[in-house]
């Protein structure tokens, strides 16, 4: 066995361009983004409002079409897939966590967590299910409906739901945006653990330097371009980078 650290790439974008609308109304949301996201790493995407963070994430996740350039997840080239293949890829290889937790209100926590696997006709790996539930600390809440859970607990259900199918990558768009700082910290700590302990790959959009500091790496967008990045961020180095970005 090799003793050197091998870094696999989970997601890759080359020359990624996204234009909304046409003619005078055209908005150039992404202007040629080249970026690699390492497997089993936690990467944060930051940048001013309107800089293209959500657009980048949606294009990487196959939730939106690209105008030009290419996106790869593992060995799949998204830009070559038809709609049906894309739907399948999203279902089998990608997990999502949104700002609004997007849980089904009539289902219990456990049913919500198992739902995507059931839709895909797959069996939950019981050992993984138990491990995820332990890690998110939801064991005694599995029978509760979302309305009976705090915001932080609901988001942890959403995180567990994303993890349970072992996706090649989880995309999270401001997952702590609707949470108070304590619940937000819980969710972030859990995302951090799922990278370290379960080898999950996570790409997260955030506005919050404290949230970004949970990541291994932060990339910064401005006006649809990747303009800088930070390894092993701290809240202070993220803040400094954001100030430099605004200047």
> Which of 17, 54, 67, 178 is the binder for ligand ATP (CB under 6 A)?
54
> Which of 32, 50, 74, 177 is the binder for ligand ATP (CB under 6 A)?
50
Q: What are phi and psi of 120, to 5 degrees?
A: -80, 0
* 176 sits near ligand ATP (criterion: CB under 6 A): no
> Which of 9, 17, 54, 150 is the binder for Mg ion (CB under 5 A)?
54
* 211 sits near ligand ATP (criterion: CB under 6 A): no
Distance from C-alpha of 6 to C-alpha of 240, rounded to nearest angstrom: 30
For strands 217-222 and 225-231, give the pairing. antiparallel
Distance from C-alpha of 122 to C-alpha of 207, rounded to nearest angstrom: 35
* 99 sits near Mg ion (criterion: CB under 5 A): no
Choice between 21 and 137, CB closer to Mg ion: 21
Distance from C-alpha of 25 to C-alpha of 29, rounded to nearest angstrom: 12
Distance from C-alpha of 214 to C-alpha of 44, rounded to nearest angstrom: 9
* 52 sits near ligand ATP (criterion: CB under 6 A): yes
Closest CA to 177 of 155, 145, 192, 195: 155
Minimum CB–partner distance for residue 30 and ligand ATP (Å): 8
Choice between 36 and 64, CB closer to ligand ATP: 64
Closest CA to 170 of 220, 238, 98, 69: 98
Minimum CB–partner distance for residue 170 and Mg ion (Å): 17
* 178 sits near Mg ion (criterion: CB under 5 A): no
Judged by CB under 6 A, which stretch of 45-53, 81-89, 149-157, 209-217 contacts ligand ATP? 45-53
**Residues 155, 179: contact at Cβ < 8 Å?**
yes
* 67 sits near ligand ATP (criterion: CB under 6 A): no
Per-residue binder mask for ligand ATP (CB under 6 A), 5-44, x = binder: ---------------xx-----x-x---------------
Q: What are phi and psi of 42, to 5 degrees?
A: -115, 115
> Which of 49, 82, 126, 147 is the binder for ligand ATP (CB under 6 A)?
49
Choice between 51 and 135, CB closer to ligand ATP: 51
Distance from C-alpha of 205 to C-alpha of 42, rounded to nearest angstrom: 11
* 55 sits near ligand ATP (criterion: CB under 6 A): yes
Q: Tell me how far CA of residue 70 lies from CA of 85, 107, 198, in angstroms.
A: 16, 38, 28
- Strand, helix or coil for residue 92: helix
Which residues of the shown chain bind Mg ion in the complex (CB under 5 A)? 54
Sites of contact with ligand ATP (CB under 6 A): 20-21, 27, 29, 47, 49-55
């Amino acid at each position: 066995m090799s003793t050197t650290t091998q870094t696999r790439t989970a997601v890759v974008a080359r020359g990624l361009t996204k234009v909304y609308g046409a003619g005078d109304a055209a908005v150039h949301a992404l202007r040629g983004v080249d970026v690699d996201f390492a497997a089993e790493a936690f990467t944060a995407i930051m940048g001013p409002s309107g800089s293209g963070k959500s657009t980048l994430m949606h294009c990487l996740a196959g939730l939106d079409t690209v105008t030009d350039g290419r996106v790869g997840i593992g060995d799949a080239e998204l830009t070559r897939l038809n709609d049906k293949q894309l739907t399948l890829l999203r279902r089998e290889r990608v997990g999502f966590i949104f700002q609004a937790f997007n849980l089904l209100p009539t289902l219990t926590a456990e049913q919500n967590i198992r739902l995507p696997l059931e839709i895909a006709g797959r069996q939950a790996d019981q050992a993984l299910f138990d491990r995820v539930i332990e890690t998110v600390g939801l064991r005694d809440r599995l029978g509760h409906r979302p309305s009976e859970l705090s915001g932080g607990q609901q988001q942890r259900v959403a995180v567990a739901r994303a993890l349970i199918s072992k996706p090649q990558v989880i995309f999270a768009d401001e997952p702590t945006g609707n949470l108070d700082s304590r619940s937000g910290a819980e969710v972030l700590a859990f995302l951090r653990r799922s990278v370290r302990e379960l080898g999950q790959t996570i790409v997260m959009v955030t506005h919050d330097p404290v949230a970004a500091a949970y990541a291994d790496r932060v990339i910064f967008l401005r006006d649809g371009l990747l303009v800088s990045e930070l390894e092993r961020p701290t809240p202070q180095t993220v803040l400094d980078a954001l100030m430099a970005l605004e200047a």
